[in-house]
Amino acid sequence: MNTIAQHWIDGQWTGSGSVLESISPADGTVVGSFYDGGEAEASAAVDAAAAAFETTAWARTPSLRATALSRLADALEARVPEVAAMLSRENGKLLGETTWEVSGAVGWLRYAAASARTQTAGRAAETAPGQYTHSVPEPLGVAGIISPWNSPIMLTVRALGPALAAGCTVVVKLPAQTALTNELFAQVLASVPEIPAGVVSVFTESGNTGAPFLVSSDKVAVINYTGSTPVGRHIAAAASTTLKRLGLELGGKAPMVIFPDADLDMVIPTVVQSLVLMNGQFCCTGSRVLVHRDIADQVRTRLTAALAQVRLGSGDDEKAQLGPVIDRASAQRVDAIVEEAASYGTVLLRGGVVTDGPLADGAFYRPSLIEVDRTDVRIVQEEVFGPVQTFEIFDDEDDAVAKANATIYGLAASVFSSDSMKARRIARRIRTGTVWINTWGAISEDFEEGGVKGSGYGYLCGPRAIEEFQALKVYVEQDHTQSAH
């Protein structure tokens, strides 16, 4: 690794300008230093990507792309422990979670390698006598990927894989909170000789000049952004001037709908896991617990007790269930939302910022559970991005669906019931991109992920992912020795 983490642009390591520090949210110590990027890095990367798209064989050779993606998967797999350990230090997730993330990204790259061979062919037909028509999915051009800090490897790879499989060249803007992890990932990319210079560039940015450049540049044909809904709206507006393709996976307020016939011995730990995974900083966090009135007392008691027992700890603590949020400012922001909610809801469990003991130097926040009887309040309507859940009671199926659909979000939901037909009936009525039945959080590279409503649009993973980075071109050829009429 470079002494100061650098950007990987046009096949070269580069770094200049401001040098910032990456701070561990677990204890406030300095993990390392990095060069902060911006518009200059974005512009250089876009120019390199545009040139590589036109001058290299990348966009026109599916077999090259398949081989490169397979080699990239191998290279990342060889460094899973190293990348996972650094990611845990920088963003505070437990080491088991970061290991799962990086290992999962390997699988997504292998899926993308297969897509490069199987989803780049077209179809052909004689559409009239002597008239031959064929359609071919072609790469859109330069793709810009803007990734968040909560899961930077997986959330980058699930867009990068299909973009490269399609034949696009790519510029990746990664977050400053994981700057040293970003360089490790760039090292993996740089180690694959089958990827020509300029095909993939990676830069890190703490500000907001490089990402807006990608969004507004007329050389960038498609943007994939994962992050908050307010920023997603801004990106959609800014991108409209160039009419570029957009894929947006935005915020979520995933409801966990629990019926009286659910297996509570399974449900309670599942609901807890849905909160603590990624330290509550996950777009699919089970932040809303919707419980049928008949079992409300039982679930309230059991869930409150389970959350109170959650063990906090740093990423390398094998017994920890919950790590820190990304920084102390975020911990204070989460606490302010909980404090406000206490004015209109009932506090079942008041967690809060850890201010004493061995974890006091970090950004740790104990879980909170707030019971509310309204859906028009901030803690229900806004993505908290921390270990905070609401407890809400419903009376029947219609009430459950109405409350589940009461936010602007539509990314994920869960339904718990031993009656499979009822569970499917409710799942069908909830407006969301993914719905889990008697589980939570299961994902597969074989099936699409995406949202509806304020959670965005477009798909990543599965067979439709590559289509986000392709345009269909139709060719019509006439044999004039035959009549087309």
b/e for 307-340, b at 16 or more Cβ within 10 A? beebebbbbeeeebbbbbbbbbebbeebbebbee
The residues that bridge with 356 in the sheet, in sequence order, are none
Read off the tokens for 52: 């590589």
**b/e for 440-457, b at 16 or more Cβ within 10 A?**
bbebebeebbbbebbbbb
Q: Which residues are within 8 A (CB) of 258 and not within 5 positions of it... i.e. 6 or more apart?
A: 264, 267, 271, 289, 290, 291, 292, 295, 299, 416
Long-range pairs, 374-380, Cβ under 8 A, ≥24? 374/344, 375/403, 375/406, 375/407, 376/406, 377/341, 377/344, 377/345, 378/337, 378/340, 378/341, 379/337, 379/338, 379/340, 379/341, 379/345, 380/253, 380/288, 380/406, 380/407
| Cβ neighbours of 241 (radius 10 Å) | 10
Q: Tokens for 440? A: 């939570």
Question: Is 249 assigned a catalytic role?
Answer: yes
Q: At what angle do helices 80-91 and 152-166 cross, to 10 degrees?
A: 130
Strands (E), 24-151: 30-35, 123-128, 131-139, 142-146
Token pair listed for 346: 């009932």
* Options 249, 371, 383, 468, the catalytic residue: 249
* Cβ–Cβ under 8 Å, residues 265 and 425: no
| Among 31, 36, 46, 32, CA closest to 7 | 36
Which residues participate in catalysis according to the annotation? 249
